[in-house]
A and B are shown apart, each in its own frame.
Chain A
Amino acid sequence: MATDIRVALAGNPNCGKTTLFNRITGQNGYVGNWPGVTVEKKEARLSSDKNVVVTDLPGIYSLSPYSPEEQVSRDYLMSGEPDVVVNVVDATNLERNLYLTLQVVETGLPVVIALNMADLVEKSGDKIDAGKLSQRLGAPVVMISALKGSGVDELLRTARQEAAKAGSVPAHRFDSAIEGVLDDIEKLVPAGVEEGKRRYYAVKLFERDELAAKAISLSPASAAKVEALVAQCEKDCDDDAESIITGERYALIAHIMDECVKKAPAKMSTSEKIDRIVTNRILGLPIFLAVMFGVYYLAISTFGTAGTDWVNDNLFGEGWELFGAAMPSVPDVVTGWLEAAGASAMVTSLVVDGVVAGVGAVLGFIPQMVVLFILLSFLEDCGYMARVAFVMDRVFRRFGLSGKSFIPMLVSTGCGVPGVLATKTIENEKDRRMTVMTTTFIPCGAKLPIIALLMGALVGTSDATWIAPLFYFLGVVAVIVSGIMLKKTKLFAGRPTPFVMELPSYHFPSIRSWALHVWERVSAYIKKAFTIIFASTVVVWFLSNFGTAGWEGGSGAFGFLPDMEGVPEEFTDYSVLAMLGGAIAWIFAPLGFDSWQATAMSVTGLVAKENVVATAASLLHIADAGETDPSLWAAFAGMFSTMGGIMAFGAFNLLCAPCFAAMGTIRAQMNSAKWTAIALGYECGFAWVVGLMINQFYLLAQGVVSVWTVVAVAFAALILFQVFRPMPKGAWDDEPAAAAATA
């Protein structure tokens, strides 16, 4: 067997790297995290040659030591693993892209430069001399279009040829004064470092890059000599080392640009024209609101809901028609099979009421979610979301988040699992953690039936259009209040994160990448349906159908209740679930819902929010009742003594830790047990407090006062204090350390 060839894909964000990766590998890759950090690692084999493994490095602007993305990229490049680096360069933004290229070439690895979007450059009238560029950079240059696929075969052929080479000594040179110092430093690089990499380390040592010095175990004596050389050079140039090198790089790039690029007279690009309107000072916000309204109108009110209703009412409900022929629904088909196979009532109950009903409830959300993610992924991939961050940053910074936190929150309105995953695009770790903690406060698709049920119970109709927005509003307020409060705690203290963000040119995303993006998100949800929801429905079914026959005339034996002799209609009252719910109901008593049913519903809601309504129907003995069924509303409202209890129940269930799947995703994203515990603990605690305040203040308005009223007032005061007190003194004292740890 031939040994694998390992190709590393490197490039700036938005350079078309991911489009190229998807094109050359198909999509059957491995997606995971780089060790020790929350940075995504993607790896896949070429679809045309299984011996070639392609690793997609994170999109980066530089190989500086400051951000985790840049660190993993550096470490991987210097690890000796990749045989060749394909540096994807956005030809329409050549000057800035070449900045990374120079650093990649400096690694001494064989490099091929993929000049992406070369067709767009030609269309604009500019001319790039690829031959000369290749000569100046000391690496082959291939013009490609990742979107259309042109030049990709030649790129792969060239990469293969280069991979066979041992590497090269970087060809480009800086100003002679700096080169003299770099030569001296290079002599101090330990002898063990191979020829091609010496230049890279010399430059890094010049920049006072401590990670690089550690990587080659530079002796203290050499380090002192390097420091003396650098300090002298800084004095001579009247500038600091990092600035000197950055300046040299950009100066060199300016030379290269002069030689290799013939620019057509500048005219306003389409992107600029679009932005004149879209991020316009006056029109920016209205356009943003209109776009968001459009997305949700399509996903929630029209197409998406039509699909969801069809799945719920037909596929899993009454059956459907195909070309005039009546087709039975899934539960009917499954029941038929089980009867034909002679299954017992217990097995039929488990499969039909437990598994099919549970998974069906989840699958019903898929049409809605697909439409939502198609639209959101398009907005993200075409470049509009960067503008949203630009327009909204001011708002989000107020409560300690950046404009980039907005995207995960939008995705969370569909499902929290892809929402939490979408936090990957937030560079700063504190911001990312804060967004993970708060994003699931936004009501997801699975919480909508709960809202509908509450609406029915509160006002007797599920069409009261003002209640659903009220719960979204509650979610948004929870995010804002939490952001402001947490920002003032030790965990998140620190200067607001810098927001220096490229606004990429608008472009129509490749259908393949777009579809893949949607699929990644939808599949995260489907996986949840078939694992966690599947398992949890079985458990809930077991808990609510098994129990002790403790009714009058019952045998007192433990078993499958519906099969027992003299079983009453309300057998779930004797189930294990009733017992467990009763045992912990005291927790929710101050919130106004201490019945074991309401407790059990909340607990199953922690497993999956989809379970709440189904649990209500089964616990209240209303078979097959949905959230729009008035009999369920009445029975549900009957569990509570006051309206305050109903509202508190709603608030708790909408705000508490999301389902198991989202908790699992939070765990994976936080990459730390401590932070997961903090996130989930905060969410549940906050939900409990909000529920407590709602119920107690409702009771207070009715003239009912208890010790819990005092507690609720105390919590309210505490929250108000934390929200309105000024940023604690000394919160920014950790500035240099925090800045260095983030980026």
Chain B
Amino acid sequence: MKSLKDVAVGQSATIAKLHGEGALRRHLMDMGLIKGTTVTVVKVAPLGDPVEITVRGYELSIRKEEAAHVEVL
């Protein structure tokens, strides 16, 4: 499975599925990370984590650990 965590900086990917459960999963969905959405990884924080992504026209910061729950095509 390829996840959002594996997407290189500057690359875009389309979300295939959200894994995980409960509050985190719902929060990711509420922030607009759902099946079929295109996200772009903009940059990595100076210390290597978290990453900044663009989704639905805004910037979102997400840890690699959470990005691993987001399966991409």
**Which residues on A are within 8 Å of B, measured CB to CB?**
61-62, 64, 66-67, 93-96, 99, 239, 242-243, 246-247, 250, 271-272, 275, 279-282, 284-285, 386, 389-391, 393-395, 397, 496, 498-503, 505, 736, 739-740, 742-743
Contact = CB atoms under 8 A, between A and B. Distances in A.
A393 B43 CA distance: 15
Contacts of B24: 498, 500, 739
A505 B54 CA distance: 12
Contacts of A95: 32, 56-57
A742 B23 contact: yes
A62 B30 contact: yes
Nearest to B65: A496
Interface string B20-53: 0111111111111011110000011111111010
B2 interface: no
A250 B29 CA distance: 10
B63 A499 contact: yes
A503 B18 CA distance: 22
Most chain A beta-carbon neighbours within 10 Å: one of B56, B61, B65: B61
B62 A499 contact: yes
Contact of B31 (A94, A96, A280, A393): A96
A499 B61 contact: yes
A740 B23 contact: yes
A96 B49 contact: no
Contacts of A242: 25-26, 29
B9 to A, nearest CB: 9
Contact of A99 (B21, B32, B47): B32
A99 B37 CA distance: 14
Contacts of B26: 62, 64, 66, 242
Contacts of A505: 58
10 contacts: A247-B35, A390-B45, A390-B50, A390-B52, A391-B45, A393-B50, A394-B48, A496-B65, A500-B62, A743-B27
Nearest to A398: B47
A12 B61 CA distance: 16
Nearest to A266: B57
A501 B45 contact: no
A280 B9 CA distance: 12
Interface residues of B, number: 36
Contacts of A500: 24, 27-28, 31, 60-63, 66
Contacts of B6: none
Chain B interface, DSSP helix/strand/loop, else mixed: mixed
B39 to A, nearest CB: 12
Given A250-B56, A501-B61, A502-B59, 6 more contacts: A61-B27, A61-B31, A95-B57, A285-B46, A503-B52, A743-B23
B30 to A, nearest CB: 4
A329 B19 CA distance: 68
A498 B27 contact: yes
A233 to B, nearest CB: 16
Given A64-B26, A66-B27, A285-B46, A501 B32 contact: no
Nearest to B54: A272
Contacts of B46: 279-282, 284-285, 391
Nearest to A389: B61
A97 to B, nearest CB: 9
Contacts of B29: 242-243, 246
Contacts of A94: 57
Nearest to B59: A503
B56 to A, nearest CB: 5
A501 B27 CA distance: 10
Given A281-B43, A391-B45, A503 B23 contact: no
Contacts of A503: 52, 58-61
Contacts of B63: 393, 397, 498-500
B34 A247 contact: yes
Contacts of A498: 23-24, 27, 63, 66
Nearest to A287: B46
Given A390-B50, A503-B59, A739 B22 contact: yes
A728 B23 CA distance: 24
Contact of A501 (B56, B57, B60): B60
A275 B30 contact: no
A580 to B, nearest CB: 50
Contacts of A397: 63
Contacts of B56: 95-96, 250
Contact of B61 (A243, A285, A390): A390
A285 B46 CA distance: 7
Given A96-B58, A739-B24, A284 B52 contact: no
A481 B38 CA distance: 41
Contacts of B57: 93-96
B72 to A, nearest CB: 16
Contacts of A501: 60-62
Contact of B45 (A246, A250, A284, A386): A284
A546 B37 CA distance: 75
A386 B30 CA distance: 19
Nearest to B24: A498
A243 B18 contact: yes
Contacts of A395: 47
A740 B22 contact: yes
B58 A66 contact: no
B22 A393 contact: no
A239 B18 CA distance: 10
Given A243-B34, A739-B23, A393 B49 contact: yes
A61 B23 CA distance: 13
The 10 closest A-B pairs by CB, nearest first: A394-B47, A62-B30, A284-B46, A503-B59, A739-B22, A66-B23, A246-B29, A95-B56, A743-B23, A498-B24
Contacts of B62: 499-501
Contacts of A740: 22-23
B29 to A, nearest CB: 4
A501 B53 CA distance: 11
A739 B44 CA distance: 26
A239 B49 contact: no
A190 B20 CA distance: 33
A391 B52 contact: no
Contacts of B66: 498-500
B30 A502 contact: no
A593 B71 CA distance: 61
Nearest to A246: B29
